[in-house]
Structure 1
Amino acid sequence: MTHREPLVVGVPTEVKPDEHRVALTPDGVRELNGHGVTVLVQAGAGAGAGIADEAYRRVGAEVVATAEDVWGRAGLVCKVKEPQGAELDLLRDDLVLFTYLHLAAYPEVGDALLAAGTTGIAYETVQTADGALPLLAPMSEVAGRMSVQVGAHFLERHNGGRGVLMGGAPGVRPARVVVLGAGNVGWNAAWMAAGLEAEVDLLDRNVDRLRFIDQIQMGRITTLASNRGQVERAVEEADLVIGAVLVAGGKAPVIVDEDLVRAMRPGSVIVDIAIDQGGCIATSHETTHHDPTFEVHGVIHYAVGNMPGAVPHTSTYALTNVTLPYLAELARDGVAAAVTEDPALALGVNTLGGRVVNEAVAEALGKPHAPLAEALRA
């Protein structure tokens, strides 16, 4: 194989509102340096996660002043969230962007990547042969666990809720928690809710998945096969509904329509974790950590698109743990070689050379799909 120089990796400060994570830890920088990779980190990028610039310098990163320095000099920009506003103007055709893209929810980002010819590789569509989503899993786990904390908070009366304690009290029924979807998000949400001694119903269409969870939890979580009737009965009686439905690369299906929200108890709470894929609750729209909730039909809705951003220290380390091996492959070998050798990473490529090369993403965006191999040859 012809020797090639590794791509320069750039880590800019996140600019999405209330986003305090950073895409790479100092340990990640040190690992990349070991592969001969130069890493540029924007000054202050790690501050929100409690990581000082000096910690990056000590392990060999070059700390640069501005976002333009990072985007302009790097061949591979590693981020946490999809590019925002002015960042879209920094895209170019010889750039690789590795981040959470969620293009089904943010089609304008997809349009910008296509117009610029940027290679966009999305954490959330990297998928192994067994169907697992390794780069989505840790943030799904964090969001699932957070959703119960959030739900418990907003169920308190002074925060607009019904005034229900998750675990109840001796002689008093605990909160009824309904979790829609038994993937990584839903499983972690149900587990946390059960730990607080709530009554928990976990719904999914995959009975084998429910069987697995039932065996682990030994009856502490009620597993229910998901269908329209079952969803309606569960949601109407719920104090807290957690939407945790995911279609990799695609738009989340709407599981709870507006009529069903209207039928819920006043002061009950919805946490729609699927909002970064469009949401699975018909009445949801994306909110921020600064202004996280709104009310529809007397029901409190929480739909923050970057929930793990509220716990940036934990989230940053959890994210780097899983992204680092793929980032090293891309920086060391280049996109073509890396995706040829790693089929899971190949599924992460959403856009390349002005084409959409992930089939699910193309369908969600209403764009023609170009096979990745064909786009690589172009």
Structure 2
Amino acid sequence: MNTDVAARLGGWQQAWRLAAAAALGIPFWFSIAVVLPPGCVADTCSWFVTGDPLIAVGCLAALLWRRRFPFTVALTIAVVSAASALATGAALLALCSLATRRRPVEIGIVVLAYVTAAQFAAELYPIRTLPAPIWLQVALPALSAGIAVATGVAIDARRAEVRSLRDRADSAEREQAARAAQAQAMERNRIAREMHDVLAHRISLVAMQAGVLDHRGDLAAEENRTLIRGIADGSRQALEELRDVLGVLRADPDRPEPPQPTLDRIPELVADARSSGLDVTLTTTVTGTPPETVGRTGYRVVQEGLTNAAKHAPAADVHISVAGKPGDGLHISIRNSPAAAATTRPPASGFGLLGLAERITLAGGSLDHHPTPDHGYVLAAQLPWPRHDHGKSA
């Protein structure tokens, strides 16, 4: 459809340019007619009403090939137009079209041929006027040729400017699309990392519960049922979270981002850990609501600490301390007591603490983790909480 439209537009442009060339030659033709002697047309000036228009029609027809053979067509019409006043418009259009190529040698040859041929045009008709100075006979055709050349050069400059603007617009559009795609990919990856932390925590709890069932033969029936329900619920939630991760990576850009947890969801983490068999103690002394980034990062610190405790020390006591206020920062500590390592551990990616350290660094905080003298382990994080923040809620 676009090709058909372009072809129709090209045909209309060709037609109106030929019509303009024909119309431009009419004033030159009439300027000859008004100075011819009375009765000349029917007698000695029959060429004026027969040959002159026929040559003009031939020149207009030759213009159809001016884009394929620009120099040849322009030179031919410039020479032939000396025998036809009506073909002057065609000669000027051919010269204008040639000038759009910006080749000085070709333009100079055609201009010279046009000006030279114009000196012989007056010999075709018995015009009775005072002889004009030679400079005027040269200046008039040279002026008209100069106007045609200047018009052609201006047209080409305008075309080049339009092409440049179009290229810049296309380039800007491509760059904008690339930036948008990159931003979408980065956002999807960020969301996937957030959900990966949740999934890793969930699977660690399931693995810990399964390990308890495997190594504890002295549990009561109700305790066994509780652990089995916990494994079933945790597995189901893990599958749902995995589906969410895959959905984010597969990527509808218009898909809304799932809500991200903050400090107010830490009690839920502790409750899940307790239901899985961990002995967790939580102490919270937080005044106000921290910024969204700080709250979300603090939640991830507690989540990673509980995940590592479930993996490496499932029978240990875990003590969580969360304290902070505006201007003093947010301080989080997860400490587990010494405990025998689990006989069977779930596979670990090895990037949990590395990713957490990167997250905290981006938030402007610091992370410390190391064994304690009593063979336990501590994970501590400090996050900035500006005093001027007005407690933007997550």
Task: Report the TM-score when normalising by structure 2.
Answer: 0.24
Structure in which a larger fraction of residues adopt helix: 2
Q: Please identify the structure whose Cα radius of gyration is greater.
A: 2
Q: Which has the higher contact order (CA 8 A, sep 6+)?
A: 1
